[in-house]
Structure 1
Amino acid sequence: MNKLTNNQKKFLRSRGHALKPIVMVGQHGLSESVLAELESTMTKHELLKIKIRADDKHDRQTMIDEIVSITQAHLIQVIGNIMVIYRAFNEEPQIILPRK
């Protein structure tokens, strides 16, 4: 997985701003059904906004780290309980990133 430049992350943050959260992670954390939904959604969307419901900051950060690790995606932004991740499609990427 190539590292994104700051310019590319800024570009993706601006694109992600208008998105609505597609996947919601509840109090039960990353259950099998949430992980299946996440993987299914990542086959349709390169840029994804996820809402995480966790009372404890440590629990929320643990879930964020797990999601990034499991999806093999780039963490673009975290604001409160909303995170934005990016994983380009293997074939025919929809989002064309600015050059490095």
Structure 2
Amino acid sequence: MNLLSSKEKSELRGYAQRLKPALHVGKNGLAEPVVVELRKAFEREELIKIAFKAERSEIEALCLEVERLAECQCVGGVGKKRSFYRKMPEAVEAE
């Protein structure tokens, strides 16, 4: 995955401010059903917001796990919400 520049992350954070959380991660963390929903969310959108119910000290580790599982990149967040970006695969046109 190509890493985003600071300028790109800043632009994406601006878009993410208007998003509602697509996913809520509870205190149990990233259980299998949550991972399935995460992947479904990225099939629909390139930029999603996740609300975490964990302690703030645990959120950083959960963000790293989300990045690994969904092959996405955290672009920032406020409080217990973080926004993640993953470029949509290019559509292959039928001939």
- TM exceeding 0.5: yes
Name the TM-score, length of structure 1 as normaliser: 0.85
State how 1:63-74 maps to structure 2 within 5 Å: 63-74=62-73
Quote the offset at 1:56 in angstroms.
5.0
Output aligned runs, 1:28-67, within 5 Å: 28-57=28-57, 59-67=58-66
Match of 2:75 in 1: 76
Moved over 4 A (4+): none
Q: Which amino acid aligns with 2:78?
A: I
For structure 2, the 5+ residue unaligned runs are none
1:27: which partner in 2? 27
Shift in Å, 1:78 = 2.5
Q: Residues 35 and 5 of structure 1: is their aligned pair in 2 closer, same or farther, counting only changes over 3 Å?
A: same
Shift of 1:79: 1.6
Q: In structure 2, what is the Cα distance between the partners aligned to 1:60 and 1:7? A: 24
Q: Which runs of 5+ in 1 are unaligned?
A: 93-100
Residue 55 of structure 1 and its aligned partner are, at CA, apart by: 2.2
What is residue 89 of structure 1 aligned with on the other side? Answer: 88
The code of the aligned residue for 1:36 comes to: V
Q: Does 1:7 align with 2:7?
A: yes
Identical-residue share of aligned pairs (%) = 30
